[in-house]
Amino acid sequence: MLKKILLATVAVVLTSAAAPAADKTKFDFWFGLSGDLEKRVQDVCGRFNAAQGDFEVVCTSQGNYDAALQNTIAAFRANKQPTVVQVYDVGTATMMLSEAFYPANKLMTDNGYDIKWGDYIHGISSYYATSKGEMFSFPFNSSTALLYWNKAAFEKIGKTEAPKTWEEVEADATKLKAAGYECPVAINISANESWQLLEQFSALHNEPIASKNNGFDGLDAELVFNKTKFVKYVTDLKKWYDAGLVKIKAKEQGQDMVQAFAGGDCQMIMTSVGDHGTVAKTAKDGLSWDVAPLPVYAGVKRQNSLVGGASLWVLKGKSPAEYKGAAAFLAFIAKPESALFWSTVTGYIPVTTSGFEYMKAQGFYDKAPYKGREVAIASLTAAEPSAVTRGIRLGGFTQIRAEVGNGLQEIFSGKSDVQTAIDGIVTRGNAVLRRFEATYKGKTLP
């Protein structure tokens, strides 16, 4: 009898040992970052997979933001969509009207997570929220634009602080030029620079880019930045360019403005806080530099700057198990510890107040490579977002950005005067908006 019991026990043990462990639920995450940032996203995915044993996220770069969105649309039509996709800021309107997503706030509630949505920095969350403040996606990689300035060069003209107004920028650039600096200010006028030159400028001055509160209040919005301070701003930039105070630096010319600043060739640039790490890593020996909020014109009450980057959307048509995995992944990313890791390996900023406070408590901003990045948070929270500084909710905005770049190139090449060129940008951009409106005829933004 005892022998039979022993044999039975051995059989059970052997059977249990031979039985495979329960399979993890796999789900796909598509994103639009490449190069070093692709590796950093893969690091995030690896950290999540190692932190628990129930789910495995399979992360795949689509090359860039445009490809990520377009490939997802095509995959959805073929019923081969990922569970989670990264969509850049200006793709928010398209996603909201697509009816292809599982709202993030509902996903988390349905899967037992209590997310403190109010913890998200308002200058970030407002860009992705509905008109009622509902969060349909999770803010992920976030940044804003800052002024980078060469402290040593400024000391030579008797200044120890960055310029706060555009009038100061002109005066400082003039002195820098007289002191022998050939490139006091560098700018880039390609399509992507609309984010800094038009969008950030308009937000900081509390001026609209489009009617209907930048499109939040209706698909029939029209561009209006040909009637705002943006015209004066471009006029001034062109005047300073003609005077040799501003130089155009672009990759097409062999040296972009970030390289020009890091190499000490140009003394002021406006670019993303995401470039902070690049400057720190590539700055020439002895370069003394810092960052500051972007300038505003004298007499203007500073508003919050705009967030840039992307958010994470969950798509319809997946299994309950995959949704549990997606919820766990999004909850993992939302942890303050994840914010610290993400900001350490990239130039992006925390998206929640708790994440920011955690990073401060860990001494993140006291460390030389990261000191100054807190200025981005100060810029995003300079004021409570107004109706026109919560974000941009316009369809086809990638094409509109391209039109902005084309128009600026006409101006700086001398082919067109400022007002005529900006009027042309608005006319062509409004045609893009009308096509987008026709595509979603009868629908309204949430």
Same fold? 25-143+307-380, 145-305+395-439: yes
Contacts of the segment 70-79: beta carbons below 8 A, 24+ positions apart: 71/30, 72/30, 72/315, 73/98, 76/100, 76/315, 76/317, 79/317
**Class for domain 25-143+307-380, per CATH?**
alpha beta
pLDDT band at 16 (very low <50, low <70, confident <90, very high): very low
Q: Which two tokens stand for residue 63?
A: 């090359």
145-305+395-439: CATH topology is D-Maltodextrin-Binding Protein; domain 2 (3.40.190)
Question: Is the model's pLDDT at 389 over the cut of 60?
Answer: yes
Which positions ≥6 away from 57 have C-beta within 8 Å?
26, 27, 28, 29, 45, 48, 49, 84, 325, 329
What count of residues does the chain have? Answer: 446
| 21-55: pLDDT as tens digits | 468 999 999 999 999 999 999 999 999 999 999 99
The structure's pTM equals: 0.91
Residue range 123-135: average pLDDT?
93
In the chain, pLDDT over 90 holds for what percent of residues? 91
Q: Give the CA count within 13 Å in the CB-facing half-sphere of 313.
A: 31
- Lowest average pLDDT, out of 3-12, 219-228, 245-254, goes to 3-12
Question: Is the model's pLDDT at 314 over the cut of 50?
Answer: yes
pLDDT band at 214 (very low <50, low <70, confident <90, very high): very high
| 332-373: pLDDT as tens digits | 999 999 999 999 999 999 999 999 999 999 999 999 999 999
Give pLDDT, residue 22.
61
Give pLDDT, residue 15.
40
Whether the CB-CB separation of 327 and 186 falls below 8 Å is answered with no
Helices (H) and strands (E) in the chain, counts: 20, 11
Rounded Cα–Cα distance for residues 204 and 297 (Å) = 10
For the chain, which residues make up each domain, given as ranges? 25-143+307-380, 145-305+395-439
pLDDT band at 17 (very low <50, low <70, confident <90, very high): very low
Which positions ≥6 away from 283 have C-beta within 8 Å?
262, 264, 289
Any idea what the Cα angle at residue 278 is, between residues 276 and 280, rounded to 5°? 70
Give pLDDT, residue 14.
40
| 51-102: pLDDT as tens digits | 999 999 999 999 999 999 999 999 999 999 999 999 999 999 999 999 899 9
Give pLDDT, residue 443.
93
Give pLDDT, residue 108.
98
Give pLDDT, residue 20.
42
Residue range 198-205: average pLDDT?
98
Instruction: Quote the mean pLDDT of the chain.
Output: 93
